[in-house]
Amino acid sequence: MIRKQLSALRLPDFITLLGLAASIFAVFTLWRSENVLLAYFGILGQIVADFLDGRIARRMKLENTLGVHLDNFADFFTIFATLVLGWRMGIEHVLASWIFGFFLIAAAIRLAYFTVENAGKLRYFSGVPTTAVSFSVSTLLILNFFYGFAPINVFLGIYLLAGILMISSLRIPKL
């Protein structure tokens, strides 16, 4: 049984799983310690893996449904890691649960919509991609951690805006 499932995986899928492992590492790092920089590198690891897995799948003509679903799961987990990073850095406003919930739901809608509607055929993304959101929000959080340019609860507005942008009709060209 396990052998059959593992034999279905191709090189791009293993890269996706490596990225997922990096996001899981980020969440567990934030759960067990306050090392936000190490967790940030986990988030970046998944973003790099997400960039590579699709490129390799297309070049090697190894695109498949399994890979698409694994990629969505890894992307969603990175969004979750980005949320946990904000929480660990001190976002504790009364609205945080609602805004974080919206952020996760928007990511789920965006990933499902893109998978169903796009299926790799369009030359643009509809709405801001989840990995771009994870990169932008987590990088702003880390820069704020080191340079303190804004009160931490200001980032609730950034999470809200990021959620809106993920499900917007903005057309973002694919790289």
Question: Which of these ranges, 42-56, 80-94, 106-120, has the smallest mean pLDDT?
Answer: 106-120
- Listed in sequence order, the residues at least 6 apart from 174 whose beta carbon sits closer than 8 Å to its beta carbon are 122, 123, 124, 125
| Banded pLDDT at 171 (limits 50, 70, 90) | confident
Q: Which tokens is 17 given?
A: 């799983």
Amino acid found at 42: G
Tell me the pLDDT tens digit for each residue of 91-110. Answer: 988 899 999 999 999 999 99
Tell me the pLDDT tens digit for each residue of 46-68. Answer: 999 999 998 898 888 888 888 88
Pick the CATH number of 2-173 from 2.40.160.40, 3.30.1300.10, 1.20.120.1760, 3.40.50.1820: 1.20.120.1760
Predicted structure pTM score: 0.91
Domain locations in the chain as residue ranges:
2-173
Tell me if 21 sits within 8 A of 73, measured CB to CB.
no
Tell me if 164 sits within 8 A of 127, measured CB to CB.
no
- Compute the distance between CA of residue 131 and CA of residue 146 in angstroms, rounded to an integer: 22
Question: How many other CB atoms are there within 10 angstroms of residue 114's CB atom?
Answer: 21
pLDDT of 87 > 70? The answer is yes
- Three-state secondary-structure class, residue 149: coil
Which residues are bridge partners to 126 per DSSP?
171
- Compute the distance between CA of residue 142 and CA of residue 58 in angstroms, rounded to an integer: 33
